[in-house]
Structure formats: structure tokens, C-alpha cells
Chain A
């Protein structure tokens, strides 16, 4: 086991975790359904999804706390779980950082960190503990009890404790949700550097996409027990593969369009879609990022007929943020009506003010609302 743990520098990434056809169906209710996932050594994967989507269950399955109904999990070449047998959690060499940190209240910081080091000699233990205490700037607190520490300090202890036994894989369950928003970013950057320093492979679960963008090398989006998309965060952001992914990550607003082979029709006007790859026709939704919207305030009754009005105004550091909705026009197709179209602008508009909005030409992304790709 220990021989396997030593990582050799290599150019080709080594696959550390492979999950195939994993299903978890306790009491007839599908929690995870035929999920495939693989993760390279040293990568940090951010797993996002709405609460109840099965992301925590997936972590528990990897850690050994919930039994898969089907499928298999392989860590570092060792099969740890399939439909036949399952390696007990304590033998999987998987570390975990819990949402509430799960630090032992009856032990000191030092004793908490030493908890998983029982197999080492005393001297080795001390060395390892000292190393971690220094790394995580906890030297002053080595004999403190957990309740004497701040939230951020507790987080550090949890990380030190999880890293101490040198797990092959580290799981983090919403690790930053209890941290003050102002400190959160700083801490995330610091911990990411630390994990990288340890060349630790990690999966962390969150419902906050911004955490993934800061913390992860890869991003996985889950919904209803399925893995929707797994890619680098920038790719997921630029090219979401489904309506659900884009909608959950709030990558833009939705504009209903009637599409045929070459052009699309919307209440913001018609536009050509020569770059249309997906060959969708009929009623589809265009993902509109705020930067792709063009605002025209001067409404000229003759030439430029207003096509939207202001429904909500808020102020941000980048100027005004408006929600626009379509005008109530009985002559127009009702199915194309839009609302909550997000728009940033420095121009001050008033509530219910009518404006003209157009869409800049770009690589249009159309999605069907219901079906998955």
C-alpha cells in the first residue's frame, strides 16, 4: 500500500479515481444513477449541484459510508467497491473534511491531528504533527481544545488532521460554508496552494459555483443523481452542455427563440445563426450573457420601436443592474415573451421605462428546456 502511495513524477497524468456505472438506490429511491467519473492524480474536482442532487451521497459512497447498489469504484488501481464486496471505510485511505469539521471535542488540536497516526511511532508522529502545525500556522494552538478556536482555525485543524495519515484522496464536504464570506476567498486560495503542495487529489462538494471557480481544476455539475457535465471550469462556463447546467450555474438569462435552419426569431429581433451547430428547430432558449446585449435608450417611435421595459433596478459596483421583460403586445407570439433578462449598464433608467435592446452577434448557444443532451 505504502509503495503505491509514493507518487512518481510523470508527464502522462495517472488516473487516481475511476467510478463506473455507479448507482445508489436505497429503499427504491434513486439517489445516484449510473454515474461515471474519473479523476487524475493531483486534480481538485469541484462538485456542484442543488441540494439533494446526490453529491454528498457520492462522497459518502467513495468514502465507504453508503453502499452502492450497482457499479464500481477504483482508487489508485485498487477496486474498493463493487456489487460483490466493499472495502471498509477505514481501509480505503480516503480522507474527509466534514461540513462541521467533525473535530473531536474531547481532544486537543495536537491529539486531533495525531488521531489517524496510530500506526506510526511516537517520534514520527510528533514530527508529522509539528510539520502540519507549522504549515497550517497552528503552532500556538497545539494544546488548545477545539471550542477555543475560531471557525477558520478549526478549518485548518480539520485539514491538518485529514492530511496527517497521507490519504490518497481527500474529500471535502462543503468545507467553506461555515466561514465568514470575507475570509472565505483568502482561505480557499491558501488551502488550494496547500493541497497542490501535497499533490493531493481532492473532490470537494459545494452549491456555490464561485467556490469551484476559485478552488478547483475540474468542475462537475450534478442534478438528480446524474453527472451532467465534467470539464475544466472555464469550459463549463463558456460551453455548458445543457439548459440545466447553464441555468443552475446562472451563466446568463434566457431568451425564447423560434429557430429554423438558418435564422432565429425573438422578441428582440431576428438574427442569422450560420454557426448553429445543434440543428435544433422550433422553440428553443438562447443563453444570453449580459455582455452580449446592446442597450438603446433613445426611443424613436418611428424607427426604433421599444421591445423591453425595466422591471427591477439594482446597483452594483459595475454600474446599474436591470431586469428587463418583454412588452405586453397581443400581436406578438406569447411563447416568445421573456422576463428577467439581465443587463448591466452605466445609463440610469427608471422603473417601467421602455427601451430598445438588441443582441450582438456571437457564438449563439441554444438549449432545449426539458430534455438533456
Chain B
């Protein structure tokens, strides 16, 4: 590997970007270290152990369930002969478009005592009160785990399916020739080979779970996020809250590093992924079970919730809502477009820096710019205020010193804060997508322009950016959708007269009035479908 360019400006700006993105995290860590221990002791003696236990239990169950859903559905789609495979293949991705808090609300509505399911049961069997029969309570930790797993499993499904499809078919053939059945070959060869993909996706699910705020709040499952909230807003102790947040972040970082460790040296690439695959032939009964399994995931994770939303929208919508929807929708678009664009530009700059610059430590900027993903939105909002607040004061002080009028809170009190928070949080997503796009460009293409007398700028604009355009589009859309869904950061950093779709829906949900926001919720889901459709298309084209 020989890097090509040695631009000082590029180097400086890359490190500067990385620094800017990591500063909020550092501010939080520093704040946490200097926290008072008194409140901490009180929390530790009373509720903190249960919060931690809940956090770990929730993480455990979500990952377990999501693995069960994701790995099995991926295996069924790629390895067996069930019918409607082509349809299920992309249908299984749809739950990704559903924010977990929406699903949680909709299912509570559906399965509650007063919901249609229990009403029907009571009417059918003549039961009178809750004591007459047992019905699962959805507002519990397992319930929350199920809800999160239902919308997060597609991460695992997507990456595992990709791994299965990329596998060298000759390995499976070799195993068949060595006397294993198709099923045995799957468990002994294909599944172990897919381990890196499964590990990556499981760690993604884990991160999303630990960062979740709205679902656990709605289900009153008290986790570390609750504790952070309580300490900050209840006890008004930002230091202790920072300390707790730091613990949470270190926990997530540990997971990420462990995952990277575990798959070091597990690289598996195939030269022959496209050979026709010998499918596992399931009996009719087995096919039926496998089909039901996949369809159940699609229905529970997407079709049923979206149907419920549509019914709500039809029943409750009026013109007044449409105008509110338009303004909040526009706000959502605004922040998401800004965040996605900036995140992609940063990802491109750092990704290409890593690829093309001579700097010995060229990997560092991209690496540290991804840390923000491990910080839950609530925590990030807190860090953002701690970072931008003092900065604003400094700017105002300077302006006054120079004889200008104070510009006000131009950073912490404007869209800037939200967009910055979203960029810090979702840069890792853009980084990942762009980096894998860059990885697919053969190294020789970096050199070719120079041998034709074309300089760095020409090379970037005529070769790298055009070739990367599919990856850029995907990265942009992924960040865009995540930004649309993101809640806590928006909730805590909004400027005046600023509601987004997600913050509005959250407020309506907390007043048990989602009906009023059903249209907005549908809009979020529809936006969420965009990248899925696109990803699916680009995969099929290859």
C-alpha cells in the first residue's frame, strides 16, 4: 500500500473534523470524571443496580431474539426451497423502517386489556375481568425486548444473508463430497463462515438497544438511560449524569472493540459466489413452518403496524393536521437533509484521506469520527449543550469586546446544535458505507489518473466521486432516515417554534394520542422505506 498525496490542508482539515466530532464525547468524559460521588452513592444504594440489571437483561434478550429472527430468516431465504422467496427476500427488510417506539405504542394499543385482541377473546369466551384469564403483558421488559428485536432484526438478516450469498459454493460442495448432507453442511460450514457478519450485525443491534430511549420509557423499563435522565433532570446533577453516560458509552465501546477483535483474521472472501447453490430441500411440513416464520416476521414487524397506522390516519385525520404535518415534516426534512449531507461530505473527506494520503496515521481521523455512534442521543444532547454553551459564551464575549452587539446563542440555540448532534451520532453510518464503497475501488484506479497526467482534484472529481456515487446515495439516505427517526437529541436541542415529526409523535404518544399524529408516523415510515428499496435495487443489479 502506497499512499499518494501529501496535502497539508487536507491533513489539517481531516484532523480538525475528527477533533470537532470527538469533542462532545470528550467533554462528557471529562465532566463524568469530575462528578461528585455523593449522589452516585445514593443511586448505587437504591436503584442503580436494578437499572444496570435491566439494561443488561434488555440487551441480552434483544440480541438473542434478533439473532434468532435474523439468522434463521437469512438461512431460510438463502438455503432452502420455500415459495415466495423472491418476495420475502426484500419484505424481511421492511421492519427497519419502523421506529421502535411506534411499534411499541401500536402493539400496546392492540394487545392491551381494552385492545381489540383481548376484547375479542373476552367476547368469544365470555370472560368478564382480567382475573378470569391470563394474557401476556406487553409493557414489560420482555415486551420491550420483543418490540426492539422486531424492528432491529433486519440488520442481522441483511448482513447474514449477504454473507451466505457471498460464500464460496465450492466450500459447500467440498463438504457435501466429504459426506455431509446439505443441512449438515449448512451448520458445519456455512454458518461458521458467516460468523463475522453475524457478529457485526449483532453489535449494531446491541448499540441501537442501549441507545434506545423512547421505547423503554414508554414501557417503563428503567435502564441506564433512565438513570441518566433522572440524575440530570431530576436531581439536576450534570456531573453524575455525565459519569453514568460515560459508563454506558464505555460499555458500548467495549462491545464494539470486542466484536472487532473477535473477527480479526476471520476474513473470508470468495471468488466464486455466483455458482448455483444447492438448496436444502425441506419437506412440505418444514416448508410450511419456515414460511410461517418468515411471514410472521414481516407481518409483525411491518405489515400489521403500518396497517394500524393507516386505519388510525383514516379515522382521525383532518385538514388542520395536514398543515401541522407540513410544517413539522419540513422541519424534519431540513435537519435530516443537513445532517445527511454534512455526514456524507465528512465521510468522503475522511475516507478518501485514509485511502489516498501519505500520513502514517491516516486511519485515525475516520476511526475517531465514528465514536459518536456509541453515544445515545440523550447523552449526546447533554454533551452538546456542555460543549456549545461555553463556546457561545466565548463568541458573545468576543463580539462584545470587539464592540459588536452580542449575536446570541448562534450555536447551541439554533438548528446548528441539532444538526451537529445528528452528524456526530450518525457519522459512523456514513463512514461505514463510504469506506466499503472505497474499498471496492481497485487500488490501481488511484494510480491510473496520475499516469495520465491528471492531478488529485481531477482524480477525485473524475474517478473517485463518480465511482462512489451509488455508495454516496446509500450513505446519504441511511443517515437521512436515521436522522428522521432520531428523537432525544432533537427533543432536547430544539430551537424556538421547532417541532419535527419524531418529536411531535413522541409527545402525542406520551399523551396516549398517537391518532393525531398517525399521518406523520406514516410519513416517517415511508421515508424509511426509501433506502431499503434502493439498497435492494442496487444489490440486485450487481
Contact = CB atoms under 8 A, between A and B. Distances in A.
Nearest to A117: B452
Contact of A115 (B2, B444, B462, B467): B462
Contact of A165 (B452, B462, B467): B452
A99 B462 CA distance: 21
B98 to A, nearest CB: 35
A202 interface: no
A237 interface: no
Interface of A: 60, 63-66, 88-91, 93-96, 98-106, 115-116, 118-119, 161-162, 164-165, 167, 171
A89 B450 contact: yes
A63 B447 contact: yes
Nearest to A96: B451
Main SS at interface, chain B: helix
B359 to A, nearest CB: 13
A94 B463 CA distance: 19
A105 B452 CA distance: 16
Main SS at interface, chain A: loop
Interface in B455-495: 455, 458, 462-463, 466-467
Given A65-B4, A89-B4, A115 B452 contact: yes
B442 interface: yes
Contacts of B463: 104
Contacts of A161: 452
Given A98-B444, A99-B444, A102-B444, A116 B2 contact: no
B454 interface: yes
Contact of A118 (B442, B450, B458): B458
Contacts of A106: 466-467
A161 B453 CA distance: 12
Contact of B447 (A89, A93, A164): A89
A88 B459 CA distance: 14
B400 to A, nearest CB: 48
A102 B4 CA distance: 16
From B442, B444, B452, residue with most partner A Cβ within 10 Å: B452
From A89, A98, A106, residue with most partner B Cβ within 10 Å: A89
Given A60-B2, A63-B450, A89-B451, A102 B445 contact: yes
A116 B442 contact: no
A164 to B, nearest CB: 8
Q: Report the contact-size class of chain B (Cβ under 8 Å from the partner).
A: 10 to 19
Contacts of A65: 2, 4, 447, 450
13 contacts: A63-B447, A88-B450, A88-B455, A89-B4, A89-B451, A90-B449, A90-B450, A90-B455, A96-B448, A98-B448, A115-B454, A115-B462, A116-B454
From B442, B450, B462, B463, residue with most partner A Cβ within 10 Å: B450
A165 B448 contact: no
Given A90-B455, A99-B444, A118-B458, A104 B467 contact: yes
Nearest to A173: B444
A123 B231 CA distance: 72
A162 B451 CA distance: 8
Nearest to B454: A90
Contacts of B444: 98-102
Nearest to B447: A65
A93 B453 contact: yes
A88 B463 CA distance: 18
B447 A91 contact: no
Contacts of A66: 2
Contacts of B462: 104, 115
A90 B453 contact: yes
A91 B453 CA distance: 6
B2 A118 contact: no
Contacts of A94: 451
A99 B448 CA distance: 11
B244 to A, nearest CB: 43
Nearest to A95: B451
A100 B450 CA distance: 16
Contacts, number: 72
A88 B458 CA distance: 14
Contacts of A162: 451-452
A104 B467 CA distance: 8
A91 B451 CA distance: 9
A105 B450 contact: no
A102 B459 CA distance: 13
Interface in B305-349: none
B447 to A, nearest CB: 6
In the complex, the 6 A-B pairs of residues with the closest C-beta atoms, listed nearest first: A116-B452, A102-B444, A89-B450, A96-B451, A98-B444, A102-B448
Contacts of B442: 100, 102
Nearest to B452: A116
A346 to B, nearest CB: 42
Contacts of B458: 118
Nearest to A105: B467
Contacts of A88: 450, 455
A98 B445 CA distance: 9
Interface string B411-455: 000000000000000000000000000000010110111111111
A63 B448 CA distance: 10
A96 B447 contact: yes
B441 to A, nearest CB: 9
B483 to A, nearest CB: 29
A105 B454 CA distance: 17
Nearest to B451: A96
Contacts of A118: 453-454, 458
Given A65-B2, A66-B2, A106-B466, A98 B447 contact: yes
A63 B455 CA distance: 14
From B4, B448, B454, B455, residue with most partner A Cβ within 10 Å: B448
Contacts of B455: 88, 90
Nearest to B463: A104
B2 to A, nearest CB: 5
Contact of B445 (A89, A95, A104, A171): A104
Nearest to A60: B2
A104 B448 contact: yes
Nearest to A170: B451
A96 B452 CA distance: 8
A96 B444 CA distance: 10
B150 to A, nearest CB: 39
A96 B447 CA distance: 9
A63 B466 contact: no
Contacts of A98: 444, 447-448
From B453, B462, B463, residue with most partner A Cβ within 10 Å: B453
Contacts of A115: 449, 452, 454, 462
Contacts of B2: 60, 65-66
A94 B449 CA distance: 11
Contacts of A64: 450
Nearest to A162: B451
A100 B445 CA distance: 9
Contact of A95 (B4, B452, B467): B452
A206 B452 CA distance: 22
Nearest to B445: A102
A156 to B, nearest CB: 16
A251 to B, nearest CB: 33
A294 B198 CA distance: 66
Contacts of A60: 2
A86 to B, nearest CB: 10
Given A65-B447, A65-B450, A165-B452, 12 more contacts: A64-B450, A88-B450, A88-B455, A89-B447, A90-B454, A95-B451, A96-B451, A104-B445, A104-B463, A104-B467, A115-B452, A118-B453
Nearest to A91: B453
A348 B205 CA distance: 71
B22 to A, nearest CB: 28
Nearest to A93: B453
Contacts of A119: 453
Contacts of A99: 444
Contact of A63 (B445, B451, B467): B451
A314 B510 CA distance: 84
A171 B450 CA distance: 13
